[in-house]
Amino acid sequence: MIETKFTATENDTGKRIEVLAAGLFPDVSRTRWQRHGQFWLEAKERPGKTKVSAGETWTVKFNPPAEPEKKLESWDFPLNVLAETKYWLAIDKPVGISVHPSATDPTNKTVVNALIAQFSEIGKHFDDVERPGIVHRLDKPTSGVLLVAKTPEAHKKLQEQWSAVEKTYLALVQGRPPRKGKIEAGIARDTKNRQRMAVSSGKSAKHAESFFERLAVNESENLSLLQIAIPTGRTHQIRVHFSAIGFPILGDEKYGGAPADRLFLHAWKLTVPDPETGKLIKLEAPIPKEFLDKMPDLDTLPAT
């Protein structure tokens, strides 16, 4: 058990108490603090998501579970490694595979199950047994660059620096959007369907921006290939934004897209500070053949 008391500083203002607790005790992940932590402001217990203010006196307590948590099963599925160091690795996530098991997809054939089979150290070094090393996520039907930490220290640094990460996607959308543009619209859970997200201006909506450039057009099928940069990373952000302006992604039936063999959304490039050196790392996942087949006249793509 861990228990301590501290007074919040000016630098702590606005941060969630569970995040501060994880910073005080880096051997215990934020996920574990969310599940098993207790937090008191003065003598009143508060939820982990509570944001602190300078001068407040907090008590934090970590109660590990009495029984060992369920271990993930390994899955012998070779992952395509794009780059690797002793602190992190980047893979080309396959389309149609979830990043980790969840209540809606409780399978043992996910990226995480494959990771612990191929990189045993990841399964050993993290106390988050459900999502060891996962820095960010991609939707199950989305392919492309996925960054994974090999150590808890690298994981913490990568998450702290995530606001500085540049994320570039490729998408095939229906119709012909402007050559360049910006979509700025809040995103929240769809009140009529909890499995969907929606553009919203309500209090629960999170700010989201998507910048796009049209790279090519398939006139015969009325499709456009877009390069999309998202400084924010909301759930289903690209899918929701382009559906909202009338250019749904091909294969995205959930958001009005026409049926296809796959969702035509690909996490193409990722530029991220190295957790060890701070230097920018540029990662790129090859463009899937299905995209190129839809763009027969495409010769080259512009550098980004």
pTM of the model: 0.79
Category of 85 on φ-ψ map: left (φ > 0), alpha (ψ -120 to 50) or beta = beta
81-160 CATH:
3.30.2350.10
CB under 8 Å to 246, separation ≥6 — which residues? 175
How is the chain split into domains, by residue range?
2-62, 81-160, 163-294
Answer whether residue 85 shows pLDDT above 50.
yes
Report the pLDDT value the prediction gives residue 304, as an integer from 0 to 100.
46
- Residues 297 and 140: their CA atoms lie apart, in Å, by 29
State the catalytic residues. Answer: 139
How wide is the angle at C-alpha 167 spanned by C-alphas 179 and 153, nearest 5°? 175
CB under 8 Å to 221, separation ≥6 — which residues? 294
- Shared fold status for 2-62 and 81-160: no
CATH number among 3.30.479.30, 3.40.640.10, 3.10.290.10, 3.40.1280.10, domain 2-62? 3.10.290.10
The answer to whether 168 touches 269, Cβ cutoff 8 Å, is yes
Answer whether residue 67 shows pLDDT above 70.
no
163-294 CATH:
3.30.2350.10
Answer whether residue 59 shows pLDDT above 80.
yes
Answer whether residue 303 shows pLDDT above 70.
no
Query: What mean pLDDT do residues 190-216 have?
Result: 92
| Average pLDDT over the chain, rounded to an integer | 91
